[in-house]
Amino acid sequence: MKLNLKRVALGLTMAVCLFSFTINSKAETAPTEIDANIEKQMEQFPEPYLKAFVDLKDEDVQAFKAKMESDESVAALSATADSWQSIKGDLGALVSIGKDVTVKATEEGYSATVNAVFEKQNLDFTVTIDPRMTKVVSATFHPEKTANSQEDLYGWLAVGAIVLAAVIVAVRKYNGASDGSSEEGNANAAAFVPAESVADSVSAEPANLVDDLELVAVITAAIAASTGSSPSGLVVRSIRRAPAGKWKNA
């Protein structure tokens, strides 16, 4: 463990040593443009830092954070270690690090971004240095979204559930209107309905309750999918038919 931590620390130390070869700016405010020498030096930062995080073992994280916090020039990397731990499982093994580095002048100083290819998911890694080029301000990971990301799946599920709920409500409303138009005819025919048919209609009433339960399940699933929460945490206490005027306005 100590040997691995030393290797990681050595990689970061080499990156920090790049500070000594830069032309330090005396400006205390955010830069408005990038000097050619500074841009060239900034291009060297992302790769060694990213490799250091890739080589970092789980058992070395706490020792790594303590070491970074003891050095003001790289103290910001302590928080970056936690970010790396939270996403590395979704990335898989490192395949390659791009050679093209994008350097920009920011409000915090200078940033350098490189794209890295991993087995499962690619990411952009950005290192930001202060205007005086004396310390690391931040190091951030930005995983690229895949075509079939989980967020997209939840979105499609939400849309599908809402459409299904709307169809069910529309069908029930149509059936209710049809039942109302034929109510008078049913009343006239009631005297001729055999006792067996009456018993069948009474026994069929629980089916409406089943329909209500199905509607509740669909509505609950739609709400859960749209909010990203669990259906078990939602309770639908009642379902009320909206006035016809509201449906027309909608």
Measured between alpha carbons, how far is 126 from 104 in angstroms, rounded to an integer? 10
Q: What's the pLDDT at 75? A: 93
Separation in Å, CA 238 to CA 148, 163, 222: 36, 20, 16
Q: What's the pLDDT at 192? A: 46
Count of residues making up the chain: 250
Those residues with Cβ within 8 angstroms of residue 158's Cβ, 6 or more apart along the chain or in another chain: 222, 225, 226
The tens-digit pLDDT sequence of the chain (250 residues) is: 444 555 555 455 555 554 444 444 445 566 677 889 999 999 999 999 999 999 999 999 999 999 999 999 999 999 999 999 999 999 999 999 999 999 999 999 999 999 999 999 999 999 999 998 899 999 999 998 765 555 555 566 666 767 777 777 767 766 766 655 555 555 554 444 454 444 454 444 444 545 566 667 777 777 777 666 666 666 766 666 666 555 555 5
Max Cα separation, the chain?
103
To which residue do tokens 């399940």 refer?
217
- Alpha-helical runs (H) found in the chain: 2-17, 36-42, 46-55, 61-69, 77-91, 150-181, 183-189, 195-204, 206-227, 244-249
Q: Identify the bridge partners of residue 115 per DSSP, sorted by sequence position.
A: 124
Q: What's the pLDDT at 205? A: 46
Q: What's the pLDDT at 181? A: 56
